[in-house]
Every structure is written in structure tokens, then in C-alpha cells.
Amino acid sequence: MFRFGFAAAALLGLAAGTGYVDGFSDATDKITFTFAPESAGLHDVELIYNGPYGDKYTYVVFNGAGGSQVSLPATTNWMTVSAGQVMLTAGNNTIEIQNNWGWYLIDAITLAPSAERGPHKVTTTPVNSDANADAKGLLSYLGSIYGKNILSGQQDQTSLDWVTQNVGKTPAILGSDLMDYTESRTSRGASSQDVEHSLAFAKKGGIVAMVWHWGAPTGLYDTAERPWYSGFYTDATSFNIETALADTTNANYTLLIKDIDTIAIQLKKLQDAGVAVLWRPLHEAEGGWFWWGAQGPEPCKKLYKILYDRLTNYHKLNNLVWVWNSIAPAWYPGDDVVDIVSADTYAQGDHGPQSATYNSLLKLTNDTKIIAATEVGSVMEPAQLQAYQADWVYFCVWGGEYISGGEWNSLDLLKEVYADENRFKQERKTMAEAQRPKVGVGVIIHDEAGNIVMGERAGSHGAGTLQCPGGHLEYGESFAETAAREVLEETGLIVGNIKFLTATNDVFGEGKHYVTIFVTCTITGENKVPQPMEPHKCAAWQWIPWGTMWTWAGEQAQAEKEGREVQRKMFLPLVNLWREYPDLKNVL
């Protein structure tokens, strides 16, 4: 482990070591040092700091290139915070601590070899117990690629069109904004087509993400210096969220609820069209520059929970995947109302992994939530993401000059990033309908003893492997409806208590690609014996202990890894179930 301390002391006269560096008041202030490490490779970096002047940020740059924005929460004690990771090389290396949002004290920086990170243990069950199939499917899909692939996104339709026209590929995610739908803006002439753009993009197979630059419902200064259209900024309104929430009978609280009800109308249009939404309200709250974060974490968390309750329980919006957008633990509203954690990072020309931010989010929920880079100024280079184990599930580049101006992202780099398909799913692929991945529903019929119905597959891809009943999701069907129909057609059984379990992403050697939605159920009809109703597809059904199936799936996964055959072959989705969701071993 390396430790670099500082001998200079001023201001407080206190330090964890022999001194500290203060200042960081000018934009050009920085500390630079050069060293030759004992060993090359990936290293964890930590800063020891003191923050007596409030919440701040610093920026740590490694070897003149990629770096990390580091959050420094307010404190009057010396604290240690992760500054991400650095890939040290043999010979001399440089580290710079650059001013970002100044006035803080730095005592030391330490580096230690990074431990290999184990498999993620994230949950893909939506926090909304009534989440519909669209939301469940989206969250499960993101879980199935998390740690393996990353999706690209682009904020606003105009900028997405620019990427398509100039890069030659289309991002997987369209970022839209509900900013211009509420009364404080529509009453002044604002209007928007973002919902219509989102509906059209989803119809083409894209994923929809939505943010809400919520203009304060009242108290806008509306001056030349602070115009009404900047009403989401703290310094453009007198609106105080803490006092508004203190009394549910006051006029300002009523206005908040009215705005929430207004955007619920727009979100319901998406739900009615079968579109799931990566929904990110109250973004960047900890920065304090938006009014919902101006009075600190407690009012903001309270407002977030009001939003969740109003949209979920009152308006019955079950198509939302809830995305929280802050890395500070004090601001986190809780695991029960968050599906995905995220951060926004803007570092001009830095295409690195932003590992400090990623690691902070990893720690925030103990690796139980999927992590996304919901806004970035500069695209992230795939090779660096992989090297630094920064498994962002998607990134979304902000629009305008950030994507097309050339200073934040060169066109050559954009083409290079979008061309990397070895590990990263950078594009929503445009393909013939016959080539599109299909959706199958795998039905795990179980009894009280933990046995499941299985049979040998015939007449199609995966012939000769052991499978559960199931089949294609037909247009307009729910997962439960598909499960009940397929089970009846294949086994003659009537089932109920159908519950969503998870999803796998299955690419078969026969040129087939399926997303398999797994559900569990029990037999509710009088007939308890499965019959081969379609013998050309499966000659016989039998009851097999879940634990035995799980063992067989593991044996096959290991055999495939070692390049050898096994006696019993399992259908690929079951093998992927074993690979991707080890916690399901004891699910029955």
C-alpha cells in the first residue's frame, strides 16, 4: 500500500498525519505528484479529507487521462473516502487532485491493490409489488446484462437523431423530460412532444428513460437574470420544499400534488401503450442547485416518497422502474422505493470509467441494486469500463453540444465506441422481424415438496434437452396468460398462483435468440398428472426435484466451460438461470 501525506498546514491546525493542504479556491488549484509503484495493475484509491465548508467535490486524474469525480460530504473530522481506482503502470505514474467545487482540506491519498470483485448480487424484483409485465421485463433484462454488457443512451430526440445520422447507429435508450407539462410552464407558453417521441421510440423497440426538470409550482422570480424557464433551479425561485411539506393543508403542498397528478397523466399514456419507463425524479438532489434539494436530504426524501406513493398507489402507475440519482448515503430514500441507483457525471473529455462514483453507488446499497450512469457529458470507453470493473448498465449522453459539439466527444471516438460489440450493447439493433429476439415464458410448475414438471424437448431448437413447459408470448398476452395457456396445451394441467420469478437472455447456437420469462405456479385443477398433449414436442412429462434440476444445470454449465459433454442435457434457459441467479437455488 502507498500513502502520500502532506506537510503543509494552515487554517485549522489539525491533521490525520503531519499536515494537510488547504485552499482549492481557484479553478486551477491542484496537487500533482509522481511516483513509481512497487507493482503495476489496478489499485484502489482513497482520500483522507476534511470538509468544514459544506458538501464539496474534487477531481482525481490518473496519468493525465481518465479520472474520477469524488464526492466530499460535509464534515469537521478527518474522513476517508473512495477516489475510485487507477491502473498503475510500471515506471513513473502521476496523480493530480484538481479543484472541482472548492474549499476543502486534503491530508493524504492512499493506494492499495484492488481485490477481484465477485459476482453481483443485485435484485431484479421491482420494489412495486404490483409492477406490470413491462416493468418487470425491463428490470429483469437489465439484470441479465448487468456486469456483461452496457446500453448506450441519448438525451432528447434531436440529439438521438444526430447520433443515428452521423455515427450510423441508434442508441438503445432515449432520454426524455417531463419538464414542459406542468402549469408553471404551460401557463407561460411551454409545450412538449417528449411523450410522443418516447411512444414512437418504444414502438421501434427502444427503451424509454424519463427525467423531470420540475419547475417550481409557484414563487418563480421571472426576471431577466432568473427567468421563469429556469424555475427548477434553486436560485430562480423562492419556493421552499421544507415548509411546503410541513403542512399538508397549505397551498404549496396542494400545488405539489397537482403537479404530480399532471405528470401522472403523461406517464399513464406510456403505461396504456405497454411502455415501461426508467423513471428518475428529483435528480441530482444532493447538489442543492435544484429546489427539491435546497433544504437538505430530509425534505427531498420525504418528497420522493410522496411521489412514489402518489404515482404507485393512487394513480396505479405500474410501468415505472424507479431510478434514484444520488450517491450520498444521507440522501438515499431507501431500498423499498428504489429499483436502480445512478449518478450523473460531467467531466469534459474524460472517457474513463468514473470508478469512484461507481464504487460509491456499489457501497450505497451493498451491491443489491443495478447501477446506471443516467447522464454523462463524455461517453465511456468500453475497454476502460471492463478493466476497472465499472459495470454501469447504461449511460445516457446529454444532448446538444455535449454529443455533437466535438469538445466533449469527438465523432471518431463516438464511432469507435458504438462499433464495440464484443462486450457492449451500444445500439438498439435494427433488424428484420424474423431476426428479432423473441420472448418465451418458461413455467416452473411445482408441488409442496419442491418437485417440478420437466420433459425432454423435441422438434425444435434445443431438441434432446430437459425443459419445463412453456412457449411464446403472444400479442396482447400477460406472462400469466401465456403460462396458463401453454401449460394447458402441453400438459393438460390447469394452473394458478402464477408469479413472476426472473428472466434470462438466451442466445442459442441454432441462430435463435430468446428472452425467457420464468414464472412459478401450482396445479389448481382436479387433474394432477401431466400428460403429453403435444407428443411431437415432448413425449413424456415427469416430476423432478428442483434441487436435482439445479445440480444438473450446474454440471452442464461447468462441462461447457471445460469443453466436455454431460449425460443429461438441460435446455439453455435453465442453464443460464443457474449461471445468472445463484440465489435461486433454494427458491422452492
Q: What is the CA radius of gyration of the chain?
A: 26
Tell me the backbone φ, ψ of residue 572, rounded to 5 degrees.
-50, -45
In our burial notation (b when 16+ CB lie closer than 10 A, e otherwise), range 57-66 reads ebbbbbbeeb
Rounded to whole angstroms, how far apart are CA atoms 137 and 542?
29
Report pLDDT digits (tens) over 475-516. 888 999 999 999 999 999 999 999 999 999 988 865 678 999
Residue 292 zone, left/alpha/beta (φ > 0; ψ -120 to 50; rest): alpha
Q: What is the dihedral of CA 13, 19, 25, 27, to 10 degrees?
A: 180
Rounded (5°) CA angle 269-210-139: 90
Q: In the predicted model, what is the mean pLDDT of residues 104-130? A: 89
| H or E stretch covering 98 | strand 93-101
Q: At which residue does the C-alpha cell 437455488 appear?
A: 585
* Mean per-residue pLDDT of the chain: 89
Q: At which residue does the C-alpha cell 401522472 appear?
A: 264
Question: Smallest Cα–Cα separation from 362: which of 383, 405, 403, 393?
Answer: 393
Report pLDDT digits (tens) over 154-192. 999 999 999 999 999 999 999 999 999 999 999 999 999
Cell numbers representing residue 172 in the block: 438503445
Rounded to whole angstroms, how far apart are CA atoms 543 and 523?
13
Evaluate if pTM is beyond 0.75: no
Report pLDDT digits (tens) over 437-481. 889 999 999 999 999 999 999 877 788 899 999 999 988 889 999
Q: Is the pLDDT of residue 425 over 80?
A: no
Q: In the predicted model, what is the mean pLDDT of residues 212-224? A: 97
Looking at residue 18, its pLDDT comes to 58
DSSP 341: E
433-586 classified as CATH 3.90.79.10: yes
Alpha carbons within 13 angstroms on the beta-carbon side of residue 452 total 22
Enzyme catalytic residues: 284, 375
Question: Smallest Cα–Cα separation from 378: which of 342, 341, 404?
Answer: 404
Question: Smallest Cα–Cα separation from 156: which of 196, 189, 197, 190?
Answer: 197
Banded model confidence at residue 4, pLDDT cuts 50, 70, 90: low
Candidate from 7-11, 291-295, 373-377 with smallest mean pLDDT = 7-11
Residue 288 zone, left/alpha/beta (φ > 0; ψ -120 to 50; rest): left
Alpha carbons within 13 angstroms on the beta-carbon side of residue 323 total 33
Q: Is the pLDDT of residue 66 over 80?
A: no
Looking at residue 2, its pLDDT comes to 55
Rounded to whole angstroms, how far apart are CA atoms 241 and 247?
11
Rounded to whole angstroms, how far apart are CA atoms 49 and 102?
13
Q: What is the dihedral of CA 34, 38, 42, 44, to 10 degrees?
A: -70
Domain positions in the chain are 2-113, 133-419, 433-586
CB 320 within 8 A of CB 267: yes
Cell numbers representing residue 26 in the block: 481557484
Banded model confidence at residue 544, pLDDT cuts 50, 70, 90: very high
Q: What is the dihedral of CA 89, 411, 406, 28, to 10 degrees?
A: 0
Q: Which CATH architecture does the domain made up of 133-419 adopt?
A: Alpha-Beta Barrel (3.20)
The CATH superfamily of 2-113 is Galactose-binding domain-like (2.60.120.260)
| H or E stretch covering 515 | strand 513-523
Q: Is the pLDDT of residue 421 over 80?
A: no
